A and B are shown apart, each in its own frame.
Chain A
Amino acid sequence: MMDQASDVRTLALGETSGTVPLARDFTRTALTEWGWLPAVGADRRAAAEDVLLVVSELVTNACLHAEGPERLRVVRLATTVRLEVTDRGAGQPTPRTPHRAGRPGGHGMFIVQRLCLDWGVQRVPGAPGKTVWAELAAPA
């Protein structure tokens, strides 16, 4: 998959405070340099904003449930954008079921699931932590 990548951008997160807005800023810069922002038209704008929303959800999950994010990668592929958030946690992100719209909690991975073409978790055998990845359609 990575051989399709036309641009890979990596942000070390580590101990920095304010990682969630930092990750959004980093991603917004990438989308701007790729010409996806500022967006022309409501659909393209929504597609770009969805990428920022998914980044926010993945990095927040790493902060809340996985001992903090270590690294964000934003990868431009032929027709998609791939987000990878590496953390130190052993847990498994799982959309909460049933999803209850009116109650706090369980919305983050629900949003990721709804907005992404696919998502998953990668682990390296024997190494701590994991990478949660998600792919969204690039703005057409």
Chain B
Amino acid sequence: MDRQHVGSAQPARLRVEATTVDEGAELLVPVGELDHHTAEILREPLDAALDAGRVRLVVDCAGLGFCDSTGLNVLLGARLRAEAAGGAVHLVAMRPAVARVFRITGAEAVFTVHDTLATALPDSG
């Protein structure tokens, strides 16, 4: 099942494809730039998955070209909710500019970071 979340007011700088993996896991693929103007485009599908009890959130960041503290806050907020429900946020294939934000702030320590999707999806163990 695929759902598209596209911003309306501006030409979308971010597109997020959300796919339900199984009853407990959601794969989110944000493509573009994550900031003050696009944060809600990622927050909504993260919250929808958490509301539905899917608390293993796998975010494939390979197509994410930019992320600042506003984007970081969205992922940290999802991480708090996921962990409270026994889950976690998994970040996959971050580009150097995006990984740097997580490194500078120390936030990389509270996420599970993967180089590839293979280790992040639940059926791979």
Contact = CB atoms under 8 A, between A and B. Distances in A.
B9 A101 contact: no
Given A104-B76, A110-B105, A60 B33 contact: no
A111 B66 contact: no
Given A46-B96, A107-B73, A114-B104, A101 B66 contact: no
Interface in A84-118: 99, 101-105, 107-108, 110-111, 114-115
By size class, the interface of chain A is 20 to 34
A60 B39 CA distance: 12
Nearest to B108: A101
By size class, the interface of chain B is 20 to 34
A33 B5 CA distance: 35
Nearest to B32: A21
A115 B103 CA distance: 12
B69 A108 contact: yes
A1 interface: no
7 contacts: A24-B33, A42-B96, A45-B97, A49-B100, A53-B97, A64-B36, A104-B74
